Amino acid sequence: MKPAPFALALTLIAANALAGPTALDASFATAGRANFTVGAYYKSTVAHLYRPGGGSVVLLAFSDVDGSNNPVGPYTLGYYPYSSAGAAQPGQAVPVYVQFARIADAVMDSMGRVVIVGSTSISGSGSDFRIARLLPTGQPDTSFGGDGMVDIDFAAGGLNDDHANAVSIDDQDRVVVVGEVERAATGDFDFGSARLTSTGALDTTFNGTGRRITHFDLGPTIPFDSARAVAIDSAGRITLAGGAYDAARGVTRIALARLTGTGLADVSFCPTSCNYMDTYTAINNGRSVIFYGNATPALSDQVATIAINGDGVLLIAGTTPGSGETLGFIQRFDTSGNWVAETTTQGGAGGQMFIGGLHWTQSGSTNSDLILTGASGPSADLFFAQRFDAQLFAKANWGIVGPSNSVYIWSASGGFGDIGGNRPAQSTMDPDGRVLVGGRFRASAPSNPYSATASRLTSTDAQPAAIEIFKNSFE
């Protein structure tokens, strides 16, 4: 049994009743918010990305809607830059041929190009990984795959239903994309990873083919494994995090894998086993399976994001069932893959919980604080950011609610809460320690399509983020 996790019981207080050092940056857009509400179609922020040289880019996804105003796809993109001072710069819709059946993640490379990943439908019921890259102008980068897009077919069996879920960029601007790949047996999906060169070609120095499949197969039936997050450390090692379904217990466990820079299993990660693996100790030599809290009663944990610092210390964050609510969790692991600490959060409001991003405030320091972003509330009607120290204790007086006032909460609409159904975008941090966030919300009636939002948070105690933010894709 692991040591008892830190219990972080939160109490919601009127958002402006307390003073904390963190706030919406009033110099960004309009009073700290950029809301995209015009048009009777679905709009959502995919990511709010720091731009090398200053400023940020808000990447939007658009879709037509059905009679109930739900998105039906395909999804196209919008590119909206902001200066370091927070002023809107000319934005645009990306040419519609750059489209996805589903958009999952986006990241910025060292040259200011935005890389977007998701999936595209193929004949039958299958899907392939799709990767697109945009120039700093927001136009498709035709040096990447010829038209700015690359599709990857793992062709591993079944219906070939493969989905990309996350992306990271290494210090050579190579693109590492991960997700789930269907195998021949019914219900059998494994971690899929691929690396592309800076021109969009499969990188054959990665596992010989540019692609790799990693399995956990907890079984005995429905061996569903899905990689949901990826990060690259300063040694070029690639860590994947996601879930592996344990059919015997009917729950999804946390699954971790680490690859070398050449795409092979890194056997220095859990070489024979890692701690607190319960009955999963045979899964080792580059892989591990763990859980949040105790092994029993068995609960399903969903990994959402990952962060690695310059020393190779690993953080993951996700959600786990609580008592009548969904809780967020953070876990910390050492460089060998052993569990070190964990904590829970309600995101300032409790109820529902969705994770946007997890960031070291100083990626080069083992003792760095970290910031978690997401959406929370009884109907997911608020956005939040929460700061923790390196031991995962709440950072006192960084926010306005929650344990030690460590949580900052806000709404996109400017009131005490949005209508509900908020979802967070992928967040980032800029070199001044400002947190770049976004997501979707309903701007008016619940029956209307979702609108997109983006914000920038500033903190009087923020430390400048490490300049290596793009060196090995710690974010």
pLDDT tens readout for residues 217-275: 997 888 999 999 999 999 999 999 999 999 999 999 999 999 999 999 999 999 998 99
> Distance between CA atoms of 230 and 172, rounded to whole angstroms?
16
pLDDT the model gives residue 464:
60
Q: Is the pLDDT of residue 16 over 60?
A: no
> Distance between CA atoms of 334 and 331, rounded to whole angstroms?
10
Structure tokens at 346: 């309600």
**Residues 105-123: b if buried by 16+ CB within 10 A, e if exposed:** bbbbbeebbbbbbbbbbbe
pLDDT the model gives residue 13:
38
Q: Which helix (H) or strand (E) holds 238?
A: strand 238-246
Average pLDDT over residues 8-32: 67
Higher pLDDT, 362 or 32: 32
pTM to 2 decimals? 0.94
Answer yes or no: are the C-beta atoms of 349 and 12 closer than 8 Å: yes
Pairing of strands 251-259, 407-410: unpaired
Average pLDDT over residues 71-99: 97
**C-alpha dihedral, 33 to 42 to 428 to 379, nearest 10°:** 80
Confidence bin at 12 (pLDDT 50/70/90): very low
Confidence bin at 74 (pLDDT 50/70/90): very high
pLDDT the model gives residue 119:
98
Structure tokens at 447: 């029956």
> Distance between CA atoms of 430 and 450, rounded to whole angstroms?
27
Whole-number percent of the chain with pLDDT over 90? 84
pLDDT the model gives residue 4:
56
pLDDT the model gives residue 433:
92
Average pLDDT over residues 331-357: 96
pLDDT the model gives residue 183:
94
pLDDT the model gives residue 462:
64
> Distance between CA atoms of 310 and 335, rounded to whole angstroms?
11
Q: Is the pLDDT of residue 442 over 60?
A: yes
Phi and psi angles of residue 403, each rounded to the nearest 5 degrees, phi first = -60, 125
Whole-number percent of the chain with pLDDT over 70? 92
Q: Is 217 strand, coil or helix?
A: coil
pLDDT the model gives residue 3:
67
Average pLDDT over residues 87-115: 97
Q: Which of 324, 320, 382 is nearest to 351 (CA)?
A: 324
Q: Is the pLDDT of residue 15 over 50?
A: no
Residues 6+ apart with CB under 8 A from 296: none
Confidence bin at 187 (pLDDT 50/70/90): confident
pLDDT the model gives residue 144:
98
For residue 39, the Cα-to-chain-centroid distance in whole angstroms is: 27
Average pLDDT over residues 355-384: 94
Q: Is 23 strand, coil or helix?
A: strand
Strands (E), 247-346: 251-259, 287-290, 302-308, 314-321, 326-333, 339-345
Helical ranges in 218-298 per DSSP H? none
pLDDT tens figures, 105-126:
999 999 999 999 999 999 878 9
Q: Is the pLDDT of residue 21 over 90?
A: no
Average pLDDT over residues 371-384: 97
Integer angstrom CA distances of residue 263 from 143, 189, 216 = 24, 19, 17
Q: Is the pLDDT of residue 46 over 50?
A: yes
Average pLDDT over residues 54-80: 96
> Distance between CA atoms of 187 and 178, rounded to whole angstroms?
19
Residues 6+ apart with CB under 8 A from 288: 255, 256, 257, 269, 270, 273, 274, 277, 280, 337
Average pLDDT over residues 443-456: 91
Answer yes or no: are the C-beta atoms of 122 and 101 closer than 8 Å: no
Q: Which residue has the tokens 């999952």?
A: 104
Answer yes or no: are the C-beta atoms of 69 and 95 closer than 8 Å: no
